[in-house]
Chain A
Amino acid sequence: MRILVIEDDSEAAAYMAKGLKEAGHVVDHAATGTDGLFMATSERWDAMIVDRMLPGLDGLAIIQAIRAAGNTTPVLVLSALGKVDDRVRGLKAGGDDYLVKPYAFAELLARIEALSRRVSATQPETRLRVEDLEMDLLARTVSRGGQDIDLQPREFRLLEYLMRHAGQVVTRTMLLENVWEYHFDPQTNLIDVHISRLRQKVDKDFEPALIHTVRGAGYTLRAGR
């Protein structure tokens, strides 16, 4: 993916660029708001990471400007302002996702990859399929290898989210925000317990295992390894 990073803190930008390059992406960096806006509009990008507080031009203003110009490139807003209100403001301005500093790099990577996927899957799907795991979104049934799996409503949504992002890393926060739809900090690793329950149903009696733990980041649903 070609990713544009608009961030004024050079060290943070270098750290971000290094990580993204290691993950196989092509990264360009703009250090001011005005440069950022110029680069965002003059080239095509697969995704953008925009810091909120920038010299020259505010991050949200950049997003508003490119959205007004009809540019739909997915944007991840990065900010030290972490209140729900700030988040809402960031998304209202046209951001697709909002990540609060300080963040784990794995979280950033997972989110930016999830963002680019979101654009490519636009047509409504009625069935999801990963290997022999099948999910019927209309009948709300799940089966693996032709064998029905009985899931609780929340387990269904959890699995649906994992399947929609098959092959990508999803973090615990992403799951909390998207499956439970609450912004909060669990003091215990609650999500792990929910995942292990889901594994019991989806992976225990089948080969190969589909739900994998990604160390230091989260989970991924994919075949093999």
Chain B
Amino acid sequence: MAKPVLRQPASLLRTTTFRLALSYLGIFTVSAMALLALVSWSTSMFIEWQVQETVDAEATGLSEVYRDRDLTGLADIINQRARQDVEGRTSYLLMGHDGHVLAGNLRAWPKEAGDMLGWVRFRILAVGGIGPGTEVLAHAYELADDHRLLVGRSLADAKRVKSAINRALGWGLAMTILLGVVGGYFTSRHMLQRVEAMGRTARRIFGGDMSQRMTLSGTDDEFDSLAASFNEMMDEIERLLEGIRTVSDNIAHDLRTPLNRLRSRIDLVLLGEHGCEDYRRTLEETLAEADNLLATFSAILTISHAESAARLERFETLDPARLAADVAELYEPLAEEKDVRLSWRAQAGLTLHGDRHLLFQALANLVDNAVKYTPAGGRVEVSVVLGDGVAIQVADTGAGIPEDARERVLERFVRLDSTRTTPGNGLGLSLVQAVARLHGATLSLGDNHPGLVVTLAFPAPTGV
């Protein structure tokens, strides 16, 4: 057996799950960031829009004052409102056509606005000139007589709201990434542990302990189903290995015995002084023994061919009646010689999909057995009937097989003690069993009252 390859336990960071988790996290982060950017942008748009609304409303109010009460009235109102606005949220400036300030809480027309009318953004310094000051969004209007009015509103509140939202979004993103990494780590570790456990079991089996099996977590997840399949596979392998072991033990026994007989026979004739006739007889016996050995050997090979299921390609559509008739006809003289009546009957028009030679061999083995174990005056009948699928039966009126031994006779080299004296290698029924398995058929032994009835039941044809 090859030396087991010792592998380092897989590093967590290199596991598929973790990589998968990371890449999902990456995709999620990017899409979350895009979403956050969109939210942040639309919030600030909304806030600015609100500021503009406020400014417009204020300006509308002021323009009504101007219409009703003219420039001085407007100046009064502006000054009054500017005084009331203690927090400095709103900026007003009413400027005469010569450029001097008529009313308002700004010292001068902002440079950023220049001569332009419409929306303008500028910064006013804080009291004392420290800090960045506040940004103001203002609207410049032109009144009659070249007077100009500027109404603005501080964006400080909007800034605060915006940064609060951004902060919240940022934290959310950070939490997402953190949770993703931690979650990925833990799921990966969990997966890795289960995979590692499987790997350990596999290595132990590889190391020779065939009894090891994967443990199931009981959650019925995909790992469990994988482990269950693996365990089933191991059961099958163990069964096959056991089969091979039994077979090699049996081969050792059943081939060694005749080989030993062969050897001692030659040994014996070489020891003494013998005539030519003795040598000839011994050689003839030796040849017969060798032929028996070869027959056993070829039976073993045929069984393993049938079992390897490599023959499917040779399957053809057959007439089971023809098969039964051929076998019956082949064995009829032999049966007659033993004073056994061999007959066959078959339902016409049935078809079977299979390997002609193997099926013939299997059927021949069954008929051979039946004729061999049926006493003179008995009957053997081969019949082809239609149940669920085609079934071929071989029934005899011999001694039969006791119920508790029926299972056992299908094993290789098993011969019941009562049959030890008749020739045979104990492979006949195993071969039939192997051929049956290759064809998906079931082989069953039953009681014929008296005698044995062997049934080869083929599966019902499926569709097509």
Closest to A87 in B: B357
Closest to B290 in A: A102
Closest to B288 in A: A216
Choose among B294, B295, B311, B330 the residue with the greatest number of A CB atoms under 10 Å from its CB: B330
Kindly identify which residue among B287, B355, B423, B428 contacts A216, using a CB–CB cutoff of 8 Å: B287
Q: How far is the CA of A185 from the CA of B294 in the complex (A)?
A: 11
Contact A84 B333 (CB under 8 A): no
A181-225 contact mask (Cβ, 8 Å, vs B): 1 or 0: 011111110100110110000000000000000001000000000
Which chain A residues border B287 with CB–CB below 8 Å? Answer: 216
Stretch of B185-193, B237-245, B258-266, B297-305 at the chain-chain interface: B297-305
Number of interface residues of A (CB under 8 A): 21
Contact A185 B299 (CB under 8 A): yes
Kindly identify which residue among A102, A182, A186, A197 contacts B357, using a CB–CB cutoff of 8 Å: A182
Tell me how many residue pairs across A and B have CB atoms closer than 8 Å: 56
State whether the Cβ of A55 lies closer than 8 Å to any Cβ in chain B.
no
Q: How far is the CA of A185 from the CA of B424 in the complex (A)?
A: 12
Which chain B residues border A84 with CB–CB below 8 Å? Answer: 311, 314, 355, 357
Contact A82 B301 (CB under 8 A): yes
- Tell me the minimal C-beta distance from A158 to chain B in angstroms: 11
Closest to B334 in A: A193
Q: How far is the CA of A162 from the CA of B424 in the complex (A)?
A: 30
Which chain A residues border B66 with CB–CB below 8 Å? Answer: none
State whether the Cβ of B145 lies closer than 8 Å to any Cβ in chain A.
no
- Tell me the minimal C-beta distance from B87 to chain A in angstroms: 100
Q: How far is the CA of A84 from the CA of B301 in the complex (A)?
A: 12
Closest to A88 in B: B314
Kindly identify which residue among A190, A196, A197 contacts B331, using a CB–CB cutoff of 8 Å: A190
Q: How far is the CA of A83 from the CA of B291 in the complex (A)?
A: 19
State whether the Cβ of A38 lies closer than 8 Å to any Cβ in chain B.
no
State whether the Cβ of A140 lies closer than 8 Å to any Cβ in chain B.
no
Which chain A residues border B313 with CB–CB below 8 Å? Answer: 85
State whether the Cβ of A15 lies closer than 8 Å to any Cβ in chain B.
no
Contact A193 B337 (CB under 8 A): yes
Kindly identify which residue among A154, A188, A196 contacts B368, using a CB–CB cutoff of 8 Å: A188
Mark out the residues of chain A between 128 and 154 whose CB falls within 8 Å of any chain B CB in the assembled complex.
154
Contact A197 B314 (CB under 8 A): no
Q: How far is the CA of A186 from the CA of B295 in the complex (A)?
A: 9
Which chain B residues border A186 with CB–CB below 8 Å? Answer: 330, 364, 368
Contact A185 B334 (CB under 8 A): no
B299-323 contact mask (Cβ, 8 Å, vs A): 1 or 0: 1011001000001011000000000
Q: How far is the CA of A9 from the CA of B172 in the complex (A)?
A: 83
Can you list 29 A-B pairs with a CB-CB distance of less than 8 A?
A82-B301, A84-B311, A84-B314, A84-B357, A85-B314, A102-B294, A180-B326, A182-B357, A183-B357, A184-B360, A184-B364, A185-B295, A185-B299, A185-B302, A186-B330, A186-B364, A187-B364, A187-B368, A187-B423, A187-B428, A188-B334, A190-B330, A190-B331, A190-B333, A193-B333, A193-B334, A196-B333, A197-B333, A216-B284
Q: Which 9 A-B pairs have the closest CB atoms?
A: A184-B361, A193-B333, A182-B360, A183-B357, A193-B334, A197-B333, A187-B368, A194-B333, A184-B360
